[in-house]
Amino acid sequence: MHVRVPSIRPPMPRLPRALALVAAVILVLSSGAHSLMGWPALRTQLTATSAPAALVDGLAMGWHFAGMTMLVLGVLVLWLLAISRSGAPSIRLPLLVIGGAYVLFAIGCALLLGWDPFLFTFLVPGVLLAVAGLLLAPRGTASPR
């Protein structure tokens, strides 16, 4: 017979949970938009420039890998939120790493290539995840409510 041991960790506060959930949904939905709508538009533009087929194919692989990665990260955040309900170890670090990577990517693109409103697709989920992570208490301290 399996006996469930009461959780030592308090449940994740609502605000960080909500921010992370919204970010996860954005990641999952934007992954589909990235691959299913973004690539055909880019491929059309590349074809119009007479780009070599090998270049277009190579870019397609990277583009679709990025779309798949966005999906994986969104699903990973959803899974982290699910296990956080059962008193699992803190999910603070993964939220900060994923959110930080998205924010740094958006900032880097803005600095190197100039601002483009499209960067909000990286900045918004990144900020939501980073803030959710920052609102969670580091391991061994009381949770900020």
Indicate the domain borders of the chain. 14-135
Average confidence (pLDDT) over 62-89: 92
The model carries a pTM of 0.83
Long-range contacts of 99-108 (CB under 8 A, 24+ apart): 99/23, 99/125, 99/126, 99/127, 99/128, 99/129, 99/130, 99/131, 99/132, 99/133, 100/126, 100/130, 101/126, 102/126, 102/129, 103/127, 103/130
Contact indicator for 122, 98 with CB cutoff of 8 Å: no
pLDDT at 142: 52
pLDDT at 8: 58
Residue 132 amino acid letter? A
User: Where residue 1 falls among pLDDT bands split at 50, 70, 90?
Assistant: low
Average confidence (pLDDT) over 16-28: 97
Q: Return the percentage of the chain with pLDDT > 70, whole number.
A: 88
Quick: pLDDT tens for 104-122: 999 999 999 999 999 999 9
pLDDT at 90: 87
Q: List b or e across 39-76, with b for residues whose CB sees 16 or more CB atoms inside 10 angstroms.
A: beeebeebeeeeeeeeeeeeeeeebeeebeebbebbee
